[in-house]
Amino acid sequence: MYAVVAGGGKVGANITRSLVRMGHEVTLVEQRRDRFELLEAELGPVVLLGDATEIHVLELAGIARPPQIILAVTGDDEDNIVISQIAKERYGVPKAIARVNDPRNQPHFDILGITQTVCATSGLLGLVEHEVPEHGLVKLLELRGEGLELVELHVHADAPAAGKRVAGIALPDGAKLVSVMRNGVGEIVRDETVIRPGDQVVAILKPGLEDRLRRAVVG
């Protein structure tokens, strides 16, 4: 695989190291000279000095081949959007993964069709919510390209779904229970599965149905 990594901070540098160890061909683009010199001393000619938002720099990195994947992981969300768009729309790169530094900028990535994104802030918040769930529902994963998301529901003793078979729960259209974790053991949900207090239930649903799903399962 050939990959282009834009941004030589901790994220970009670690991704590049991993790709090189796995035997993939990679070019890392970094615009800060001090950082570039350190990375070049460590990684050699796979590191390129330049601004990855500039077309001639991307072409030096081999964007016209094109690579199978580009990872836009700079510390600037606007740069990551520009890099991803140039790669996909001008050079036909099949896959672009972008770093979202500020979760408030996520809608801009979505509107522009950059659906494969990674946000450390949102990920960490998700882990915190998993340990201390608010209102019994935690978002696990957004499948933006498919218009779906995965959520986890924590069932308490007084929850509307407690003691009911899945087939008897009035779920909103566009939501489906897919698995249940009980006493550390997971199983696929079936119509005859009975939801019990203490269960952690995973559901797939269309965005916007979270409140309706929460009311139906955990109240």
Q: Which residues of the chain have pLDDT under 70?
A: 115, 119-136, 143-145
* pLDDT recorded at residue 17: 92
* pLDDT recorded at residue 124: 47
* pLDDT recorded at residue 171: 93
In tens, the pLDDT along 58-97 reads: 999 999 999 999 999 998 899 999 999 999 999 999 988 8
- Beta carbons of 175 and 206 less than 8 angstroms apart: yes
Model pTM? 0.60
What the block records as the tokens of 35 is 């950082």
Query: Residue written as tokens 């690579």?
Result: 67
